[in-house]
Amino acid sequence: GENVEQHPSTLSVQEGDSAVIKCTYSDSASNYFPWYKQELGKRPQLIIDIRSNVGEKKDQRIAVTLNKTAKHFSLHITETQPEDSAVYFCAASILGTGKLIFGQGTTLQVKP
């Protein structure tokens, strides 16, 4: 079945460093890839997304890259700040359904 693998499960960086989270998907027909941030006790919130006709998208300190051939996509956070500490989820769409399959999540800790 459809599957999304996300790595690493935990990531600890110093404030100001960069953080990279990687995901691999199994359905070659997937065409939409969002990323969500979930702070402790809160709901997941969409932070950035990318569609299959684009290789890279950037929004201030956050960027996402997509490699359709290899079926993987990555989230890049530059100049990390303590408020970036959260759980991050990647997801991939299932064509024709409107469903998203989520990765297992990455807990990012940014140390001051």
Partner 1 sequence: NAGVTQTPKFRVLKTGQSMTLLCAQDMNHEYMYWYRQDPGMGLRLIHYSVGEGTTAKGEVPDGYNVSRLKKQNFLLGLESAAPSQTSVYFCASSYGQGYGYTFGSGTRLTVV
Applying CB under 8 A, the residues found at the interface with partner 1 are 1, 6, 9, 31-32, 34, 42-46, 49, 51, 89, 93, 95-105
Closest approach of partner 1 to the CB of residue 10, in Å: 11
Which residue's CB is nearer to partner 1, number 63 or number 95?
95
Q: Phi and psi (nearest 5°) for 93?
A: -80, 155
Q: How many helices (H) and strands (E) does the chain have?
A: 0, 11
Closest approach of partner 1 to the CB of residue 14, in Å: 25
Closest approach of partner 1 to the CB of residue 66, in Å: 14
- Outline where the chain has alpha helix (H): none
Which residue's CB is nearer to partner 1, number 6 or number 24?
6
Q: Which residues pair with 48 in a beta bridge?
A: 35
Which residue's CB is nearer to partner 1, number 43 or number 112?
43
Strands 10-14 and 106-111: parallel
Give me the sheet containing 56-59, strands edge to edge.
Answer: 4-7, 19-25, 72-77, 62-67, 56-59
Which residue's CB is nearer to partner 1, number 80 or number 93?
93
Closest approach of partner 1 to the CB of residue 7, in Å: 13
